[in-house]
Chains A and B, each alone.
Chain A
């Protein structure tokens, strides 16, 4: 896992404020998500996690501040540049946000139809089936989203976000609405993304997800970043100011120690 200050930021927010419906949600949020790492941002309900993620992905235009992608201002991208940014990113919405008038295959295939139409319809459909199967979705491809459970919708949403093998994946609470088996499939996918050194930016309520995958852990409070750093830095720094998920992570102890225990146990098992 690459560490240190020399990391290149994939997405950087500088002093961003954002509002919705007359309410200020982000107030001076600054954070740099490093390239090739998995960053997890946690925070209480209503703290601005989802808005932070949408601003970072260019889905919400900030009132002030700047968002840069690979050094370029996201707000100043040309149409062509924005299209290539979209071709290399995927977004998982908190509430799935599947297109209701399009069947499951159509939902998952859309990023490929838009960015890689040269693949041909049959190859695109096969790619969509493969990623859905990997996530444990075994229902019909011709079904409409309304015919699925909320957990299945979430899996389809995740499949849609990664089918194009994007360099950056934004995930808004990817394991919400999922049963444990389905969540485990998502964890397997996250492990694969980490292995492929994709930039993964997750906002989540799940301390399990942060514990297992966060290379960088952030905490958002009152619309601004209260902490952002390596897992141990953040868990160590924020315990006085935060409760809930962070307190639970702190209670689990050092992740490095747990991993070394696990390695020892598995070695004992091998003997």
Chain B
């Protein structure tokens, strides 16, 4: 019993060390990525197109809907407490600081996290990774780093995009409940918005982007030899990313408000 526990703990520790080593290598190769002529630029551009550009529509729809919902709820609740003026603060805090990065990370995890994990897993099974090594391409610098940078950049851009469309959704609802000139609405928003709000949201976006890309690439490479491991890698990438994103969100929120 004790021996089994000890063996299990040793395996977990080895696995943790391996994943930390993987993360360290990703950061090291990322620092080198732009310092030389790279055949990986094409992979980076394709990743930004898939993760960022192709997710614009779904992110915009979600942001408009969330912005509208917050406004509807706030407009019915806040006047009861005589706190209608808090509407803008709530919008900024909920969308910019919390839901913008969080929901964007969930969308990216569901779309790109699974795609990256299953794509890399398939490449492992088909010996494509070995073929890259054989021609002298480091799989971390050629396959992981462009995906890492692509996901992080897309995460930051999509979060800003989510914020803009979230506040736009709120504006649409405002027009129904209490028609307000756009300049007045934007003025009120801008006077409420602080640098801290933007920095907080973007910090979370950065951390979530790192989490999603590293977890997905790591899970993709963890596929060993069987094609049946590929969907498992995708599922693990999503599950683990969700957990780590929520944990990171709580920790970052604690740091900001503690």
Binding site for B on A (CB under 8 A): 20-21, 54, 57-59, 82-83, 86-87, 89-91, 93, 95, 97-100, 110-111, 113-115, 117, 160-161
Q: What chain B residues lie within 8 Å of A161 (beta carbons)? A: 134
Number of B positions contacting A (CB below 8 A): 17
Write the nearest CB–CB distance from B232 to chain A, whole angstroms.
Answer: 15
Q: Are the CB atoms of A100 and B128 closer together than 8 Å?
A: yes
Q: What chain B residues lie within 8 Å of A86 (beta carbons)? A: 133-136
Tell me, yes or no, whether B15 is within 8 Å of chain A by CB. Answer: no
How many angstroms from the CA of A90 to the CA of B134 in the assembled complex?
7
Of B128, B133, B224, B225, the residue contacting A99 (CB under 8 A) is B128
Q: What chain A residues lie within 8 Å of B135 (beta carbons)? A: 86, 110-111, 114-115, 160
Residue of B nearest to A163 (CB): B135
Tell me, yes or no, whether B177 is within 8 Å of chain A by CB. Answer: no
Residue of B nearest to A99 (CB): B128
Write the nearest CB–CB distance from A195 to chain B, whole angstroms.
Answer: 24
Q: Are the CB atoms of A59 and B37 closer together than 8 Å?
A: no
Query: Would you mind naming 18 contact pairs between A and B with Cβ atoms under 8 Å apart?
Result: A57-B134, A58-B133, A59-B130, A59-B133, A91-B130, A91-B131, A93-B130, A95-B127, A97-B127, A98-B131, A99-B131, A100-B123, A100-B126, A111-B136, A113-B39, A114-B135, A114-B137, A160-B135
Q: Are the CB atoms of B224 and A21 closer together than 8 Å?
A: yes
Q: Which of B126-168 contact A (CB under 8 A)?
A: 126-128, 130-137
Q: Are the CB atoms of A114 and B39 closer together than 8 Å?
A: yes
How many angstroms from the CA of A59 to the CA of B139 in the assembled complex?
12
Q: Are the CB atoms of A117 and B37 closer together than 8 Å?
A: yes
Q: What chain B residues lie within 8 Å of A117 (beta carbons)? A: 37
| 19 extra A-B contacts, CB within 8 A, seeds A86-B135, A114-B135 | A21-B224, A54-B130, A59-B134, A82-B136, A86-B133, A91-B130, A91-B131, A93-B127, A93-B130, A95-B127, A97-B128, A97-B130, A99-B128, A100-B122, A100-B123, A100-B128, A111-B135, A114-B137, A117-B37
Contact status of A83 and B130, CB under 8 A, knowing A21-B224, A21-B225: no
